[in-house]
Amino acid sequence: MRALLDVILLALRLYLYLVIAQAILSWLVAFNVVNTRNPFVARIGEFLYRITEPVLRPIRNMLPNLGGIDLSPVVLFLIVILIQQIIIYYIYPYVF
């Protein structure tokens, strides 16, 4: 059972890295540092968008419109960290 919890924690950690990568790539595209006409950048951007958007979209719908500022990755980051802490401190010690 602990192995399953370890896999869940690893998946959550990897998903956080993907959310961070998607946020950084969106900033780089917005500031014209990278160009999405490059096929490699376009593929990475599409992959990150498809992985993160199903989770970020409902959070965006709940948050108020702040113009060009998107706080949904920050909210998702906090939610995932909360889930990780609940697993580590409340579930993991009681599993044999």
Note the pLDDT of residue 67: 86
Q: What is the distance between the alpha carbons of residues 87 and 92, in angstroms, rounded to a whole number?
A: 6
pLDDT (average), residues 45-52: 98
Q: Where are the domains of the chain?
A: 2-94
Reported as a single tens digit per residue, the pLDDT across 60-86 is 999 998 888 899 999 999 999 999 999
**pLDDT averaged over every residue in the chain:** 95
Note the pLDDT of residue 87: 96
- Classify burial at 52, counting beta carbons within 10 Å of its beta carbon; exposed 0-12, middle 13-18, buried 19 or more: buried
Whether the predicted pLDDT of 96 surpasses 80? no
Residue 66, beta-bridge partner list: 69
pLDDT (average), residues 88-94: 93
Q: What is the distance between the alpha carbons of residues 49 and 63, in angstroms, rounded to a whole number?
A: 19
Q: Which residues contact 45 (CB under 8 A, 6 or more apart)?
A: 25, 29, 36
